[in-house]
Amino acid sequence: MTPIELTKAIAKILDEKKAIDIKAIETSELTIVSDYFVIASGTSSTHVRSLMDDLEFEMEKQGVRPLHVEGRATGWILLDYSSVLVHIFQKEQREYYNLERLWTDAKTVDLSDILTD
């Protein structure tokens, strides 16, 4: 699976699990850490953990496992899929850390064909 295919697959799973305000940005020209970030929010700490669990489960069915997961007990969970870093936030933490502002030079990935209204 290419990095963009992985990004879109992750966004689709998060959307199906009712994540909020899903965004993807291309970071390949800005950092060596990853090619893409997927950023999403959950409505509560329980929802955030559920999004993480469901994403791991669905990606494993496709033979893809995260290299590492951070923040399982916090309002910001990071899943490292090597070329794609997934950030799942509670609303307050997302507003506070504001990754979209920090990475304003990154290109936005069009997910309109993936996400539901």
Tell me the per-residue pLDDT of 47-78, one tens digit each, with 9 for 90 and over: 999 999 999 999 999 999 999 999 987 889 99
Mean pLDDT of 14-31: 96
Domain of 66 in residue numbering reads as 3-106
Residue 115 lies in a domain: no
What pLDDT, on a 0 to 100 scale, did the predictor assign at position 42?
A: 96
What letter would DSSP give residue 27?
A: -
Q: Provide the total of helices (H) and of strands (E) in the chain, helices listed first.
A: 4, 6
Task: Kindly tell me if the per-residue pLDDT of 37 is higher than 80.
Answer: yes
Residue 39 lies in a domain: yes
Is residue 103 within 8 Å of residue 25, measured between CB atoms?
A: yes
Which neighbouring-strand residues pair with 90?
42
User: For residue 30, what is the domain's CATH number?
Assistant: 3.30.460.10
What pLDDT, on a 0 to 100 scale, did the predictor assign at position 74?
A: 83
Task: Kindly tell me if the per-residue pLDDT of 116 is higher than 90.
Answer: no
Beta strands 68-70 and 107-108 are unpaired
Task: Give me 1's structure tokens.
Answer: 């699976």
Residue 111 lies in a domain: no
What pLDDT, on a 0 to 100 scale, did the predictor assign at position 117?
A: 73
What pLDDT, on a 0 to 100 scale, did the predictor assign at position 105?
A: 93
Handedness of CA 21, 42, 89, 63 (dihedral sign): negative
Is residue 41 within 8 Å of residue 94, measured between CB atoms?
A: yes
Mean pLDDT of 93-117: 92
* Rg value, the chain, Cα: 13
Residue 116 lies in a domain: no
Residue 109: exposure state from Cβ atoms within 10 A (0-12, 13-18, ≥19) = middle
- Number of structural domains the chain divides into: 1
Residue 47 lies in a domain: yes
Name the pTM for this structure: 0.94
Residue 25 lies in a domain: yes
Residue 113 lies in a domain: no
Residue 16 lies in a domain: yes
